[in-house]
Each structure stands twice: as structure tokens, then as C-alpha cells.
Amino acid sequence: MYNLGQYIHGEAITYKLDPRVKILSAIVLSVLIFRANLSGGILISAFLAAVILMSRLTLNHILNAFKPVAIFVSLLFFLHVFFTDGTVLLAFPPFPVKITYEGLYQGAFVAWQIACLVLAAAILTMTTPPSDLISGIENLLRPFRRVGVPSHDVAVMISMALRFMPTLLEEFDRIRMAQMARGADVKIGTIPEKTRWAKALAIPLMFSAFRRADELADAMEARGYQRGYRTTLRELRMTSLDSAAMALMLLFIGGVFVLTGLSG
């Protein structure tokens, strides 16, 4: 099971926060991740660990959120390790690749950045019901309606993309297991054979995505869904808990900037 984009029911304090606070915090955290140095990265990692504990998310939840991007993160890490110039730690003559200190550091740091981005997005979707997520995004985008941005439509599209991400990943696993049961194995064979195996995966997955999109469109049409602004059953209101969370986030942002400035 994949938890990236999947809501997990809970009663922790982070579930009670206004979705706008969590969305803005995730956006700000993403910016900080790309601007942070080693000291700031340690503070950000500690902050994310504290949020996970407060959200009462298990290790399995976190690992399942990383599964879809594990290969991509590993590829970025090894690309930096083998192809970054610097102090050579290990060479592989006559091959034009070598492991450098700078490559190890840069690869680990880039992998950490991607992992933190995925973790921040996973915490947001795990602790926020889809309906609240739509309301939060629509509310934040509402001022842009004056310049022609369809805030509610954008919010619905983002929410559906997040919702169907784990569904498509599970469909991919189902198709892969069915192909393997028929004797296909990507780990063996020539490059053309592996290419045909990948094609046998991609085409059914694409048709499955189109089929699910048609089913979703039919379901929305059957329920009378129409584009444009609409009211909600529960209006978003900020509470004292949300104010405290925003104040804590501001202190955290200040701490990251201070550590980044001192180390720089």
C-alpha cells in the first residue's frame, strides 16, 4: 500500500489544524528545504520528526510514502556520487567514474531535500481529509479570482491528482505482478526484452488511467457537478490552536534563517 496522497484517519493535534495553516506551512517548508545548509537541514529534519510524532504516524506510513520515489532518489544520489568532481575517495580505472567527497556530500544532500519534500507532502495529505484540502486550497486561491484564476477548479484538480496517485501506483503493482505471473522479469534479458516488458506495463496502466478518468467524469456528471464557485457545508475558521501553530512556524522559520546565516 502507498500512503503518498492518501488520507489516514486520526485524532492527533495536527488533524485539528486548519488546512490553510498546513498548506502554507508545507509551502514555506519546501522553500526552506532548498535554501537550507547543513545546520538548517538538521533543524528541518528535527522539525519534521516532531511533526510525525505529534501526528502519531507510524514508521510503516512513512516508508510507504517513500516507496514511489525511492528509485528516483537513489538515482539522483548515485549520479552525484559518481559524476561530481572533487577529492577522489575511490576510483575505478579504466572507467571514467570515481567517488569523490564532494559527490557523496552533494548526493546525500540532494537525496535529503527530495525526501523532505515528499515527507512534507505526505504529512499534509495523511492528516488532511480531501474535502478539507479542497476547501483550503480554494480559500487560499480565492483572491486570484479577480485576475481570472478559477480557484475552485484548480483546487479540485489538485485534490484529484493527489487522491489518484496511490490508486495508480497500486494499479501499477497489480499489472506488474500479473506480468510476472506470466513469466516476465525485468531483472533478466536483453535491453530490447526489457523494453518490451516496460511497454507491456505502460500500455495497460495508461488504459487503466483513462478508464478511471472516464468513470470519475461520469460519476461527477451523475451527481450534478458543475464548474465554478460553490458553498461548503463547513466554513473554515481559524482557532487559537491555529494561531499557536502559525506562531511556532514563524519561530521555526526564524531559527532556520539564523542558523543558515551563522553557517554562511
Residue 146 has a pLDDT of 80
Query: What pLDDT was estimated at residue 191?
Result: 65
pLDDT one-digit tens code per residue, 189-246: 566 666 777 777 788 888 888 888 888 888 888 888 777 666 666 778 888 999 999 9
Pairwise CA distance, residues 201 & 206, whole Å? 9
What confidence score (pLDDT) does residue 231 get?
65
Closest CA to 4 of 115, 139, 132: 115
Q: Whole-angstrom Cα distance, residue 239 to residue 217?
A: 36
Within a 10 A sphere around the Cβ of 109, how many other Cβ atoms? 15
Nearest 5°: the CA angle 18, 24, 28 is 145
Note the pLDDT of residue 8: 85
Nearest residue to 57 via CA among 11, 5, 16, 19: 11
Q: Which of 245, 247, 242, 252 is nearest to 33 (CA)?
A: 252
Q: Which of the residues in the chain have pLDDT under 70?
A: 1-5, 183-194, 228-233, 261-264
Q: Which helix (H) or strand (E) holds 125?
A: helix 101-126
Cell output for 95: 572507467
pLDDT value for 233: 67
Distance, in Å, from the CA atom of 246 to the CA atom of 97, rounded to the nearest integer, reads 47
Residue 165 has a pLDDT of 74
Task: Report pLDDT for 197.
Answer: 73
- Using CA atoms, how far apart are residues 66 and 208, in angstroms rounded to an integer? 23
Q: Give me the pLDDT at residue 26, please.
A: 92
What is this structure's pTM? 0.74
